[in-house]
Structure 1
Amino acid sequence: MRPNLAVLLLALALPLAAPAQDQVTLAATTLPVWKAVYGRIEARDRIPARARLGGTLVSLSVTEGDTVTAGQVLAQIVDAKINFQLSAIDAQVQAMTAQLGNAKAELTRGEELLSRGVTTAQRLDGLRTQVDVLNGQIAAIQADRKVIEQQAAEGAVLAPISGRALSVPAAAGAVVLPGEVVATIGGGGIFLRLAVPERHAGFLTEGDTIEIEDATGVQTGTLARIYPLIENGRVIADVDVAGLSEAFVDARVLVRLPVGEHQALLVPVAAVITRSGLDFVATTGPDGPAERTVILGDRHVIDGAEMVEVVTGLTAGATVVIPNE
C-alpha cells in the first residue's frame, strides 16, 4: 500500500498541464463605413406597346403580370372608316376596269381599221395612250388600297420585346388615339437602381461591392454604373446583383454602400467570454494574464474567419489569448 500512496502523492505534486492557447497581437484594421439606403428593382428595358391606329379597342389579351414574347398580339384596334374606304376603292377599280375593257376593244377595232386603211395612225396612238392611262390609274388605285390594308393591319398592338406586362392602362371597348400606350412591357433582365445623397458621391466607385438585404437574406452586388447627373440632390447608380428576385418590379430593398473607411480593432469571436451579461477578453502581458471588460461592435468575416469589433476596452498592441476548445 505504501508504494501506491507514494505514487499518488507524486502525481498530486506535479503541475497540471494547461490547456493549449493561441495568442494574437491586436493591430488596427481598416474597415469600410457603410451607409444604408433603399434601392429599387427595375427592368433594364421598359418599352410601351403603343397603338399605331386610332379607333376602338375591340379586344385585349394581356393583363398585368403576364409573360409575353416579342411580336405577340396584345390587343386589336378597329377603325370602321377603313372598311368604307376599301369599299370605295373597290368600286373605283371596277369602274376603271370597265373603262379599260372598252378602251382595249376600241384599240382592237382601230388596229383592224388601220390595216384596211380606213383610220389613221394618229387615231390609233390615241387609243393606245388611253389604254395605258387607264392601266396606270388602276395601278395607282390598287396601291392606295394596299396602303389602307396596311393601316388596317396596324390595328394589331404588338409586344415590342419579350418580358412581363408591367402595366395595362387601356381597357377593351375604349377609344384610343395613335401613339396611345396600351401596355408597358419590362424585359431584358432586372437590376437595382440607387439614389444616393450627393454628399456621398465622392466615395462611390464603379466596381465596389455592396450588400443587399431582402426577404431571402443578405447578398452582395457590384456597383456597375454611376450617372454623372445629380437629380434633386441625389446621385443615381445602377447595381448588378445575381439572383435578384423578379417577383416585383419597382420593389424597394435595403442596400448598404461603402461611403468611407475607419480604423478598428478586431478580435476573433472565440476570444470573447460572456459572463453575467458582460463581455470579457483574456489578455497577457508583463503583469501576467488578465480579463478585460470590453464593449463590442459589429461582426465581420475577414479571410473566412469570424471577427468582432472591439469598441472600447483594448488598445492596439495588446496580446489577446484565444482558448482552444
Structure 2
Amino acid sequence: MSRARAFVFAVSLASLTVLSACSGGHEDQPKAAPQTVSGETLTVRTAPIDDIKRVGATLTTRDMGEAVARISGVLVTLNVREGDTVSKGQVIGTIQDQRLNFEASAYAATAAQAEADYNRVKTLYEKGIYAKARMEQAETALRSARAQRAAAGDLASQGLIRAPTSGKVIRADVPAGAAVMAGTSIATITAGPRVVRLQLPEQQARSLVLGQSVRLEANGLNANGTVSQIYPAIDNGQVIADITPQGLDSVLLGERVVTAISLGQRTGIKVPLSYVTTRYGLDYVRLVAANKSVSDIPVQTAPLDGQSVEILSGLRDGDTLAPYGVSK
C-alpha cells in the first residue's frame, strides 16, 4: 500500500469514528413527550348564529324644533347661541319691519279718531240732534278701526321669535343684523329624548324587531341600546329606525355611532374567546386528538358579540378543542 492510499484510509476511518460518536450521542437524548389535555373540552358543531352587521348611525333627538321667522325684516337681536337651554315660549330674538310699525301707528291713529267721532256723535244723539242711523254709522266705523288696529298690532308683534319647545339650542347661525324672509329658520332646538337614528336597506330592515338589543360604539365609548321605533315609511329604499341608547350622555349630538345589530341568522361554528389565542397576527385553537394529545392549528375567525368568535375556516363538525391554559 502506498503512502497516499494509507493516508486516505486513515482519514476515512477517523471520519467514520467521529460520525458514529455523534450519532450515538443524539440517540441517547430523551425525546419530548407529547402534550396531552385533561379536564374541560369543547366539541364544535355547526349551529345557527346571529348575523351581526356593523352599520353607521347618527346620535340625534327624537324631534327637532325650528324657531322660524314669521315676518320678513331685519333680525335685530338674537339672545341665544349653540348649547344654551331654552323653555317653550321663551323670546330668543326679535325681527323688525319698519313698514309694519308704520302701519300699526297709522291704524292706531285711525282708531283714535274713530273713537273721538263716536263720542261726539253719541253726545249729539243723546241730545236729539243726530238720528239713530248716524249713531249706528259712527259705532260701525269705531269697531272697524279697532279691528284694523288690533290686526296691525298683532302683525307687528310677530317679529318676536319664540322657542317652539323646551330643549337645547344646537344651531343658531343667523347673525344679528341680517335680513331674513318669512319662514327662515333662526335656531334649531332639540325636543324629546336622545336616540341613535339608523338607516337600513329595506331587505335587511325586515329582520328588525322592537325591543331588539344593539351594541353601540361612539368616540371610544361602548354602550348598549334598544330598538324603540321602526318608521313605517320607506325613503329611497331605506328604512329608518330609532335606538334608545344607554351610556352615551357625554357624546355630542350629530356624532357618528357604529351599531352592531343582528339582522337574521346564518349557520356557522361559534367558539368562546377562551379557546382562541393570537400569535404574530394569526389566530390559533388547540385541537384535541383521539389520544388526548393537543396541537395548535391556525384558524380564520370573525368577531361576534365580544365573548365569542365565528370560525370561518380551519375546523369542522366534531372537532374537539381545549381551552388555553388547561394541559398536563
2:195 equivalent in structure 1: 191
- Counterpart selection for 1:92 from 110, 123, 132: 110
Secondary structure of the structure 1 residue equivalent to 2:131: helix
User: Deviation of residue 72 (structure 1)?
Assistant: 1.1
Structure 2 residue 63 is the aligned partner of structure 1 residue 45: yes
Contact 2:231/2:239, CA 8 A, preserved across alignment: yes
**Counterpart amino acid of 2:217?**
E
Secondary structure of the structure 2 residue equivalent to 1:33: strand
1:283 equivalent in structure 2: 288
Quickly say closer, same or farther: Cα 1:106–1:292, change in 2 above 3 A: closer
Counterparts in 2 of 1:93-242, with a 5 A limit?
93-110=111-128, 126-242=130-246
Q: How many pairs were matched up? A: 290
Contact 2:225/2:243, CA 8 A, preserved across alignment: yes
Listed one character per residue, the Cα deviations across residues 60-108 of structure 1 (whole Å, up to 9, x for unaligned) are 1122332222111111112223333343334334433443444344334
Structure 2 residue 318 is the aligned partner of structure 1 residue 317: yes
Quickly say closer, same or farther: Cα 1:232–1:52, change in 2 above 3 A: closer
2:50 equivalent in structure 1: 32
Contact 2:286/2:297, CA 8 A, preserved across alignment: yes
User: Deviation of residue 301 (structure 1)?
Assistant: 6.1
Quickly say closer, same or farther: Cα 1:139–1:294, change in 2 above 3 A: same
Structure 1 segments unaligned to the other structure (5+ residues): 1-17, 111-123
Structure 2 residue 253 is the aligned partner of structure 1 residue 252: no
Contact 2:104/2:156, CA 8 A, preserved across alignment: no
Counterparts in 2 of 1:42-81, with a 5 A limit?
42-81=60-99
Secondary structure of the structure 1 residue equivalent to 2:151: helix
Quickly say closer, same or farther: Cα 1:109–1:315, change in 2 above 3 A: closer
Tell me the distance in 2 between the aligned counterparts of 1:98 and 1:270. 95
Contact 1:37/1:255, CA 8 A, preserved across alignment: yes
User: Deviation of residue 278 (structure 1)?
Assistant: 7.3
Tell me the distance in 2 between the aligned counterparts of 1:81 and 1:278. 77
2:29 equivalent in structure 1: none
Quickly say closer, same or farther: Cα 1:90–1:292, change in 2 above 3 A: closer
1:117 equivalent in structure 2: none
Tell me the distance in 1 between the aligned counterparts of 2:202 and 2:179. 45
